[in-house]
């Protein structure tokens, strides 16, 4: 009964947090705006696939723009069934969030009421769940799938039946479909099963099942002239940047992911106590089922730290927070039992959880509305500008979510997420903005030969051709989330320069007060 009351309170808190943040955004935007332009990338691709059967950021060509193929596909199905509505991701994430809480509710019932309250509230507040729901991104679904993978792994270790293996394999396929980082943990599971449990066939079979989404999507992408991996992984991945660059990015990951690192301290203490309690030789210690999930989660986290990303509205590591909480639950239950007199452990555990609470929940209460404000002031204004004057035109741009979702433009993406030829030219830039002469030449020729109309770009990302006429700029204030503070407007066709100038003057009368549009003389 106590757990059910706690569950209702948790749902109430989650609902109030979502409602409060929606109201804050509506106060300045008049409607809810996602805090990331990436949410509109998913929506744009899902809309195009549902309505035009084109897997792309525009309806005109294939582009491997999404980093979560299964989430984009899910949105496409929902749009096909319910129609094109920009808040479908918000509703879908809310359902997934409820599912995540209920899964933990069921899992935590075997532990003490104190543990139930600490862990369930930590899942909601440390993730933080309301923020991941409101990003409109895939992270809630990915987290739910990863928790099911770990539960499936536990169940398989307890009873190695074909049914339990099939469940583990299915959850692994789904988790990888939502985000490829899931492979870090599934690979660790395969290593554990192969080397410590000697389940050679099962280990190899699980690995083969898990890579199915990667292989299938990669084959489709290659068949359409794209990379095997999604463009975002090629352009933003933490690889092929030299030894110094690699370790610099790892150090940056550690800094941005410090809120997860503090939780990893609890996981390491848990592993140490397990070793000390069993007093067994190393191989036997790891073979003990009590150590299986901690081993897998720690190894998966280490691989993520080395090769994936942290940050960007603390979303990349949100799933790590939840699966670490899932893993340390038995330790928390042990520490808070009445017959355990180690007050140092109790205080230390609470202190670490409070640090993570401040870093993740406290800071994001302020940052999430700022991020939505940035997207409203920049990406939504650009989308509105194009919708008013160039909704079906040929546009050069390098932040591409909202402008493609709310319009039917032909796109030349100078970043490369939505244009494969640009991605091929930028793949060795390693997420940096270099003086890429080959890219500049490509933009010069493509814009001229295909008769593009207008360019809306961050100048620092790539130099525009000399024959483009810079007409004006749009500048936002207090930038936290946007790719740049100032967007420049160029007329690609010289004879249209005066028209673009007049359009900007007219449009500037409708923009928010703190959005500054300047006309270049």
Band of residue 311 on the pLDDT scale cut at 50, 70, 90:
confident
Instruction: Say what the pLDDT of residue 13 is.
Output: 97
How is residue 65 written in tokens? 């723009």
Query: What does the domain layout of the chain look like in residue ranges?
Result: 2-366, 370-519
Q: What is the DSSP string of 480-515?
A: SSSS-SEEEEEESSGGGHHHHHHHHHHHHTTS-TT-
pLDDT of 208 = 98
Q: What is the mean pLDDT of residues 132-157?
A: 98
Mean local confidence (pLDDT), 412-421: 96
20-29, 74-83, 336-345: range with lowest mean pLDDT: 336-345
Residue 431: which pLDDT band, with cuts at 50, 70 and 90? confident
Cα–Cα dist 30/366, whole Å = 19
pLDDT digits (tens, 9 = 90+) for 348-373: 999 999 999 999 999 999 999 999 99
Tens digits of residue pLDDT in 204-240: 999 999 999 999 999 999 999 999 999 999 987 655 5
Mean pLDDT score of the chain: 94
Which one is predicted more confidently, 309 or 516?
516
Q: How far is CA 321 from CA 120, 145, 156, 242, 345, in A?
A: 12, 14, 23, 29, 20
Q: What pLDDT is stored for residue 286 in this prediction?
A: 57
Which comes out higher in pLDDT, residue 241 or 294? 294
**For the chain, what is the radius of gyration of the CA atoms?**
24
User: For the segment 380-409, what is each residue's pLDDT rounded down to a tens digit?
Assistant: 999 999 999 999 999 999 999 999 999 999
> What pLDDT, on a 0 to 100 scale, did the predictor assign at position 483?
93
pLDDT at 342: 76
């Amino acid at each position: 009964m106590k757990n059910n009351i706690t569950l209702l309170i948790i749902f109430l808190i989650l609902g109030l947090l979502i409602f409060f943040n929606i109201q804050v955004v509506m106060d300045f935007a008049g409607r809810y705006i996602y805090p990331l332009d990436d949410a509109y990338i998913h929506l744009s691709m899902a809309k195009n696939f549902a309505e035009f059967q084109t897997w792309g950021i525009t309806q005109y060509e294939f582009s491997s723009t999404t980093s979560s193929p299964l989430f984009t596909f899910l949105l496409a199905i929902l749009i096909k069934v319910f129609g094109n509505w920009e808040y479908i991701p918000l509703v879908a994430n809310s359902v997934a969030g409820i599912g995540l809480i209920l899964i933990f509710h069921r899992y935590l019932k075997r532990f003490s009421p104190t543990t139930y309250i600490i862990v369930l509230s930590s899942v909601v507040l440390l993730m933080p769940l309301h923020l991941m729901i409101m990003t409109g991104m895939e992270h809630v679904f990915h987290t739910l799938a990863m928790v099911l993978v770990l539960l499936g792994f536990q169940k398989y270790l307890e009873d190695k039946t074909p049914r339990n293996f099939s469940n583990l394999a299915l959850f692994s396929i789904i988790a990888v479909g939502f985000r490829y980082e899931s492979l870090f943990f599934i690979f660790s599971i395969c290593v554990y099963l192969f080397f410590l449990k000697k389940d050679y066939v099962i280990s190899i079979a699980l690995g083969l099942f898990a890579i199915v989404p990667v292989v299938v999507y990669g084959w489709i992408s290659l068949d359409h002239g794209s990379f095997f991996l999604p463009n975002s992984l090629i352009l933003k991945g933490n690889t092929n940047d030299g030894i110094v660059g690699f370790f610099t990015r790892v150090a940056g990951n550690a800094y941005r992911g410090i809120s997860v690192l503090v939780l990893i301290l609890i996981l390491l203490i848990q592993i140490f106590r397990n070793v000390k309690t069993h007093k067994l030789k190393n191989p036997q210690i790891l073979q003990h089922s009590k150590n299986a999930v901690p081993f897998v989660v720690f190894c998966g986290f280490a691989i993520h730290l080395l090769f994936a990303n942290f940050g960007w509205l603390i979303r990349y590591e949100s799933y790590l927070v939840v699966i670490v909480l899932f893993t340390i639950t038995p330790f928390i239950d042990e520490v808070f039992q009445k017959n355990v007199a180690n007050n140092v452990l109790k205080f230390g555990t609470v202190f670490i959880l409070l640090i993570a609470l401040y870093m993740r929940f406290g800071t994001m209460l302020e940052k999430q509305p700022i991020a939505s404000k940035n997207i409203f002031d920049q990406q939504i204004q650009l989308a509105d500008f194009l919708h008013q004057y160039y909704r079906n035109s040929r546009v050069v741009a390098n932040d591409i979510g909202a402008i493609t979702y709310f319009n039917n433009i032909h796109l030349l993406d100078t970043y490369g997420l939505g244009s494969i030829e640009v991605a091929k030219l930028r793949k060795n830039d390693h997420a940096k903005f270099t003086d890429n002469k080959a890219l500049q030449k490509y933009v010069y020729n493509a814009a001229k030969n295909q008769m593009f109309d207008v360019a809306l770009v961050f100048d620092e990302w790539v130099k525009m051709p000399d024959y483009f006429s810079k007409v004006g700029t749009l500048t936002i204030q207090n930038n936290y989330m946007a790719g740049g503070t100032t967007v420049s407007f160029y007329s690609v066709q010289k004879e249209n320069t005066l028209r673009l100038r007049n359009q900007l003057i007219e449009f500037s009368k409708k923009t928010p007060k703190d959005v500054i549009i300047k006309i270049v003389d």
